[in-house]
Amino acid sequence: MKLTSKSVALIPIIATVATAAIGATLIAPPAANAATTLGAAAQQSGRYFGTAVAANKLGDSTYAGILNREFDMVTAENEMKMDATEPNQGQFSYGNADRIVNQARNQGKRVRGHALAWHSQQPGWMQNMSGSALRNAMLNHVTQVATYYRGKIYAWDVVNEAFADGSGGGRRDSNLQRTGNDWIEVAFRAARAADPNAKLCYNDYNTDDWSHAKTQGVYRMVQDFKSRGVPIDCVGFQSHFNNNSPVPSNYQTTLQNFANLGVDVQITELDIEGSGSTQAQRYQTVTRACLAVSRCTGITVWGIRDSDSWRASGTPLLFDNSGNKKAAYNSTLDALNAGGGTDPTTTTTTTTTTTSNDPVPGACSASVSLNQWNEGFVATIKVTAGSSALRGWKVTTTLSNGTVTGSWSATRSGNSGTVTWSNVDYNANVPAGGSTEFGFQGSGSGAGLNPACTAS
C-alpha cells in the first residue's frame, strides 16, 4: 500500500459487522502491572506490534519518539518497493531503505520487508517490459534486494496484491501475470534462495472476509503451494477498514483457516477509519481476533499519527495529528494486555513442550508449538532467557521421523536426527526473561522434537 496515493480506491465489501457478537463491550482496563506500550504488550503473547515508517519523517521528534517507544516491528512504507530500490535497471539504491532498517535495528526492532514484486510502483523501465525480459528482470530484482538485506529482515512480502477484485477469485491482469501463471511461485523460490532465514509472505487487501471469492482464490494458491513444497511461510492481510468495508464478522475464521494450512498469518497494514468508541471497538475486535489464532504472529498499523496516513481525512490510526493517544490506542493496548483466547474451528494439532521450568541465571529454555498434518509439519521454537540476558543461544532438536525442508530466523546444522539451531545476528541478544522465536517446516512427523537450549 502506498502512503501518498493509491491507484485504486478500496473496493467496498458487503459484510456485516457483528458488533453485538464480537467484542460488544470494550475490555476492562488492565491490571496496574500490565505493559504500557503496544510492542511490550504484544510480546507477552509472543507477538509483535509494528508500524509503517517513512524515512523522511524520522527527523520529526514526535514521530520518532512514538516509533521508538511503542513499536517493535517496522515496515518501510515505500522505500523498499521496486521503484525505490532499482530506479534504473541493474542500478540499485538502498539509501532511504537503509535509514529505516538501521534505525529499527539500532533500537532493537525487527523489520518486515515490503515488497519485492508488485504490479504497482514499478520503475518506469520495468513498466514497458514484457515476456521473458520482464520475468528475468523481476527475478534479478528479488534476488538482489533480498540478498542485500539477508539476515536483517524478519519477513518479506515477496508478492503483493496479485489477485483481482470482484467475483471471480482469479489473478489480477498485470505485466507480471502475463509472463506466466507461475510467476508468483518463482518469485518465492528466488526469495528463499536469496535469504533462507527470512519468512516469505504473500500480502493482499480485501481478503478479510472468508466468503469472498478473492479470499478463496488466495487460499487455494497457498494450499497449492504448501502441497507442492513451494516456500511460503506466511500470509499478510492488509485489513484496511471503513464504514463501506467494515471488519467482517468472520474475520477470525479467515485468519484461522489460513493458519490451518501451516502458515503464519499477519495483519500487515491495519487502519480503521472513524473515531471515538466505534473506532476503538473495531480496533479491539481485530486485535482480539489475532490473539485468538495461535499462528497470528503480529499486527502492523499503516502509519503512526492520523496525519501520517494515506487516508488522513478518515483519521484511521491510533494517534491523533499531534501524537496523542486515541481511544483506539487504549482499547488495543487493553486487548493486548488481556491476552488471547482459542478458536474452536482449529483443525491442526498443536502441542507445546517446555524443556525447563525455571531457567538458572545465564541459561535459557526452549519450547515448541507444533502444527502437524498428514504430509508434514511446521514447528515454532520459542527461546526464553533466564534471569540473565543472552548474547547468543543454541537449540538442539530430535527429528526421528521427519526431515527439515525450510527454516527461518536461525542457522541450522543437519536436516534430520539431531538438528542444531543457533541464533542469527538480529536475535542473538535476548533480555533477561525475554524471548525470541525461530521456526522450520518439515516433511513427515515432527513429534518428539524435545528442544533443549544452551547459552552460547
Q: Is 269 a catalytic residue?
A: yes
User: How many CB atoms are closer than 10 A to CB 412?
Assistant: 17
Q: Which three cell numbers stand for residue 184?
A: 508468483
**Angle at Cα 189 formed by Cα 187 and Cα 193, nearest 5°?**
115
DSSP 306: G
In 3D space, the residue among 57, 80, 226, 229 whose CA is nearest the CA of residue 160 turns out to be: 80
The region that residue 390 occupies, defined by phi over 0 for left and psi between -120 and 50 for alpha, beta otherwise, is beta
Residue linked to cell 542457522: 411
- On whether the CB atoms of residues 428 and 411 are closer than 8 A, the answer is no
- The whole-angstrom separation of Cα 86 and Cα 115 is 12
User: How many CB atoms are closer than 10 A to CB 417?
Assistant: 10
- On whether the CB atoms of residues 298 and 73 are closer than 8 A, the answer is yes
DSSP 151: T
Rg (Cα) of the chain, in Å, rounded? 21
In 3D space, the residue among 8, 7, 10 whose CA is nearest the CA of residue 316 turns out to be: 10
Three-state secondary-structure class, residue 56: helix
DSSP 183: H
* Distances from the Cα of 407 to the Cα of 76, 258, 410, angstroms: 24, 19, 7
Active-site choice (269, 273, 375, 437): 269
Residue linked to cell 547459552: 455
Residue 350 C-alpha from the chain's centroid? 20
Burial class (CB in 10 A: 0-12, 13-18, 19+), 141: buried
First to last CA, the chain: 41
- On whether the CB atoms of residues 41 and 34 are closer than 8 A, the answer is yes
Catalytic amino acids? 269
